[in-house]
Amino acid sequence: MRQASTDPRFTTHPAPKLYGVESYIAVPLHRKDGSFFGVLCALDPLPANLSEDKLEVFRHLGDLVGHQLEQEDELGRRDAQLLGAHEAAQLREQLIGIVSHDLRNPLNAITLTAATLIRRTDLDDRARRGLSRILESADRANRLIRDLLDFTQARMGKPLPVNPQSVDLHALTQQVVDEVGLATPGRRLDVVCEGDARGTWDPDRIAQVLTNLLTNALQYSPAGTPIRVKTEGQGGKVVLSVCNEGPPIPAQVLPGLFEPMTRGSREGGERRSIGLGLYIVDQIVRAHAGSVEVVSTEGVGTTFRVRLPRGTE
């Protein structure tokens, strides 16, 4: 509008007279997604020659203002995300402290007390069985806490700590299988050892891998079927296999099997919960520069195969 007092559209309009405006420019402001924000206005109490080039400059100015508004919105969103990430990191640190200290301490007290009582010679069979169940439950809770701590550390981008030392995987495997067998009476656990299985690994971490694989195999196989464990030296690496005769893992689950909280279903409605165990297995094997794979077929069963380079002895 170049001159409101002579423009037929505004000669009778009360606004120019109320605000003393003769010339007026208005440019709409839009964000990059096209949403309307507002209007950029210029007012002049005197008539103005609003040539097309001046109008074009004002349009560009409106585009710049809209772009700046978009940048400020984006910076605000990023600040909120950074604040949320910082708060989440603090929460994770607090969770680690609670789990590692406040939960482990009472569990250790329970384990120590039950272990002391079970060594008494005046216990009847019922009391001894009860104490055994307490020890088994406390041990299972400690494994869950350990997996949770490892999961949290891995999700925070930190490598799992390992303490490599000289290990005979044959001997370590037999020890772990014996311990798991004591906690699962009635299940058959077969072990086959072939070749030289010595290497440099963290024995506690490798025992954790085997325990998780055995727990998974026992959980997802019929009670009357055996679990077969094999350790085999193959040149510069050692292979650890755990096989069970349970139903095959559903095809839709296999691609994400080593991701945390993976779930699938088989025909008939059975639920299969992977949880954290296999995720921790994968993270520990990676920390040893190794690999893990699974083969699962109908009629044959499921085999988890871990390949570990021997490292430097």
Widest CA span in the chain: 114
Tell me the per-residue pLDDT of 30-58, one tens digit each, with 9 for 90 and over: 777 777 777 777 777 888 776 777 777 77
Do 189 and 229 contact (CB within 8 A), yes or no? yes
Alpha-carbon distance of 290 to 302, in angstroms, equals 20
- What span, in angstroms and rounded, lies between the C-alpha atoms of 236 and 308? 9
Q: Would you state the pLDDT for residue 245?
A: 93
What is the reported pLDDT for 91?
A: 66
Q: Exposed (0-12), middle (13-18) or buried (19+): which is 252, by Cβ within 10 Å?
A: exposed
Q: Is the pLDDT of residue 289 over 90?
A: yes
Look over the chain and give the mean of its residue pLDDT values, rounded to a whole number: 80
What is the rounded CA–CA span in Å between residue 257 and residue 273? Answer: 10
Return the CATH fold of 14-77. Beta-Lactamase (3.30.450)
Give the pLDDT of residue 182.
79
Q: Is it the case that residue 85 has pLDDT exceeding 70?
A: no
| Whether the predicted pLDDT of 176 surpasses 80 | yes
Same fold, 14-77 and 165-309: no
Every domain of the chain and the residues it spans: 14-77, 88-155, 165-309
Tell me the average pLDDT across 16-42: 76
* CA neighbours closer than 13 Å in the CB half-sphere of residue 251: 2
- Taking only the tens place, the pLDDT of each residue in 193-239 is 999 999 999 998 999 999 999 989 998 999 889 999 999 999 999 99
Percent of the chain with pLDDT over 70: 84
Tokens of 24: 């007026």
CB 31 within 8 A of CB 64: no
Q: Are 62 and 69 in contact (CB under 8 A)?
A: no
- Name the amino acid, one letter, at 151: F
- pLDDT at residue 151, rounded to an integer: 74
Provide the 8-state DSSP code for 249.
P
Residue 282 tokens, joined: 């994968």
The CA distance from 286 to 278, in Å, is 12
Q: Are strands 291-297 and 271-275 parallel, antiparallel or unpaired?
A: unpaired
**What distance in Å separates the CA atoms of residue 201 and residue 308, rounded to the nearest whole number?**
9
CATH of domain 165-309: 3.30.565.10
Residue 301 confidence (pLDDT) above 50: yes
Is the pLDDT score of 71 beyond 90?
no
How would residue 273 be classed by pLDDT, with cut points 50, 70 and 90? very low
> Has this prediction a pTM greater than 0.75?
no
